[in-house]
Amino acid sequence: MNRLSVELPGLSLKNPVMPASGCFGFGREFSQLYDLSELGAIMIKATTVEPRFGNATPRVAETPGGMLNAIGLQNPGLEKVIEEELPWLEQFDVPIIANVAGSYEEDYVEVAREISKVKNVHALELNISCPNVKTGGIAFGTIPEVAKSLTKKVKEVSSVPVYVKLSPNVRDIVEMAKAVEEGGADGLTMINTLLGMRIDLQTGKPVLANKTGGLSGPAIKPVALRMIYEVSQNVDLPIIGMGGIQSAEDVIEFFYAGASAVAVGTANFVDPFVCPKIIKELPELMDRLGIDHISDCTGRSWNKHARIAHYRP
């Protein structure tokens, strides 16, 4: 028995650990460091219809226990991703989750339709929560009606299950989750970054050229856990949890909160081997905690009986 396997809509994962979108590019750099087939899945960088340069630099700033980024969805565009990046990834035995972004509904729909046809794309992650682009992005992720409508439109055209990525910059995360559930989402990924900023004392100006940016890393872990805890109790969709995960212990904490799989973002920058390390350490930690199968502990913090993971066959 593989104690780490997880079954989610569209995704048969050999383990529940995957790099988060935007923190792993399209995998090429990390493939020089380890075999990408070790990963549960890969969430590739956001893809938009046209190539994007993104924001001016500086694009990152450090904060206590975290970092800000304002990359601005830099990516080579739909065509190149489909023709170059995804085929290159086929050499690895790992399902791809394609992160879909845009400025208008039509953009999302076009990217979703095309990219979901690619063989190794097993699911979409609808990025309605990027705080770093002027139009679209976060607006879609903070107004329930808008999110629901977009989810519906994307579901109509997608050939694979659709996960919607929720923004933490809202008053009521459960309301948002319910809206996209009504829109037909197959799953949720959460959380994206919190809006933040740093100011340079010497210049008196924001450190980031974009002024504000998205806060990620360990600092946001308690916010992510709280939101997953709330949403998992109120919505019937599996959750891929993320936000500050650095260790096998963190992974279990996210499962206890209500996640059915996890993604690791910022920690890849601190330790590029963090994903395989976590995957390796999980079984031993599960032994110590008396966890038979990883899916058994989803939602343990609110459910006395281990919940049966969604879609576990």
DSSP string computed for the chain: --TT-EEETTEEESSSEEEPTTSSTTSHHHHTTS-GGGSS-EEPPPB-SS-B--PPSP-EEEETTEEEE-----B--HHHIIIIIHHHHTTSS--EEEEE--SSHHHHHHHHHHHTTSTTEEEEEEE---TT-SSSTHHHHH-HHHHHHHHHHHHHH-SS-EEEEPPS-SS-HHHHHHHHHHTT-SEEEE--PEEE--B-TTT-SBSBTTB-EEEESGGGHHHHHHHHHHHHHH--S-EEE-SS--SHHHHHHHHHHT-SEEEE-THHHH-TTHHHHHHHHHHHHHHHHT-SSGGGGTTTTT-SSPPPPTT--
**Closer by beta carbon to another protein, 1 or else 201:** 201
Residue selected from 197, 234, 281, 312 as contacting its own copies according to rule CB under 8 A: 197
**252 sits near its own copies (criterion: CB under 8 A):** yes
Stretch that binds its own copies, among 22-30, 50-58, 195-203, 234-242 (CB under 8 A): 195-203
Interacting positions 33-52 with another protein (CB under 8 A): 33, 45, 50-52
Structure token pair of residue 50? 């046209």
Q: Does 276 bind its own copies (CB under 8 A)?
A: no
Among 193, 247, 260, 298, binds ligand FMN (CB under 6 A): 193
Interaction between residue 256 and another protein (CB under 8 A): no
52 binds ligand FMN (CB under 6 A): no
- Select from 15, 69, 127, 129 the one that contacts another protein (CB under 8 A): 69
Nearest approach in angstroms of CB 8 to its own copies is: 21
Lookup result for tokens 């459960």: 174
Query: Which of 68, 100, 160, 262: binder of its own copies (CB under 8 A)?
Result: 68
Minimum distance, C-beta of residue 191 to its own copies, in the bound complex (Å): 11
Q: Which residue, 86 or 252, has its beta carbon nearer to its own copies?
A: 252
Closer residue to ligand FMN in complex, CB, 19/144:
19
Which residues face 97 on adjacent strands? 43, 123
* Bridging pattern class, strands 66-69 and 213-216: antiparallel
Task: Quote the least distance from Cβ 32 to its own copies, whole Å.
Answer: 29
Q: How far apart are CA 19 and CA 97, in angstroms?
A: 10
Annotation marks residue 23 as catalytic = no
Among residues 12, 74, 120, 212, which is the contact residue for another protein, using CB under 8 A?
74
| Residue 279, amino acid | I
Query: Applying CB under 6 A, does 247 fall inside the site for ligand FMN?
Result: no
Partner whose footprint covers residue 54, from its own copies, ligand FMN, another protein, none (CB < 5 to 8 Å by kind): another protein
Interaction of residue 283 with another protein, rule CB under 8 A: no
Residue 245 near which of its own copies, another protein, ligand FMN, none (CB within 5-8 Å, type-dependent): ligand FMN
196 binds, among its own copies, another protein, ligand FMN, none (CB under 5 to 8 A by kind): its own copies
In order of 14, 33, 257, the CA distances from 298 in angstroms are: 16, 31, 7
Give the catalytic positions in this structure.
Answer: 130
* List of residues contacting another protein (CB under 8 A): 22-25, 28-30, 32-33, 45, 50-54, 57-62, 64-67, 69, 71, 74, 76-77, 207, 217-218, 246, 266, 268-273
